[in-house]
Amino acid sequence: MSRVLPSATLSLMWKVYADDDSNHPATPNENATPGLAPAAPRGLDPVELVVDGERFVVTRRAGSSDTYDFAWTSHPASYGFSIGGNADWHPDRVEMAEQIRSFLADIDPETGYLRD
């Protein structure tokens, strides 16, 4: 069963979205610092590693304390992998490097991607 909203309700609803119009400037944030991004939440700080000449940035996924994303930043495309463990697993740089080496061992040197 469909329901028809009265035009007054629709008018009120569209007024809410009118403020999102790019023609209306946003209210300035007096606490903002131009050029600086907010700090990453504790424990989510990216770690940059160079393993066997390849550069990776490792981050712990927000909202999932047991998932780590490995972004292969020296790869010509957006590529990488993720590892999910348990909440007690907190890899150090050596363990991260081992995971990266294991991943790189499965990369086809001709294609630059995981083997089929």
Q: Which tokens is 111 given?
A: 């294609």
Q: Within 10 Å of residue 58's Cβ, how many Cβ atoms?
A: 21
Return the SS3 of 47: strand
Return the SS3 of 114: strand
pLDDT (tens digit per residue) in 50-83: 999 999 999 988 777 788 999 999 999 989 999 9
- In order, the DSSP letters of 84-95 are E--TT----HHH
pLDDT at residue 116, as a whole number = 79
Q: What average pLDDT does this structure show over 29-53?
A: 75
Laid out side by side, the sheet with 67-72 consists of 47-51, 54-60, 67-72, 80-84
Weakest mean pLDDT among 12-16, 76-80, 110-114: 12-16
Q: What average pLDDT does this structure show over 4-27?
A: 49
Q: Positive or negative, the Cα torsion across 85, 62, 115, 91?
A: negative
> pLDDT band for position 11 (50/70/90)?
very low
Domain boundaries, the chain: 29-116
pLDDT at residue 50, as a whole number = 96
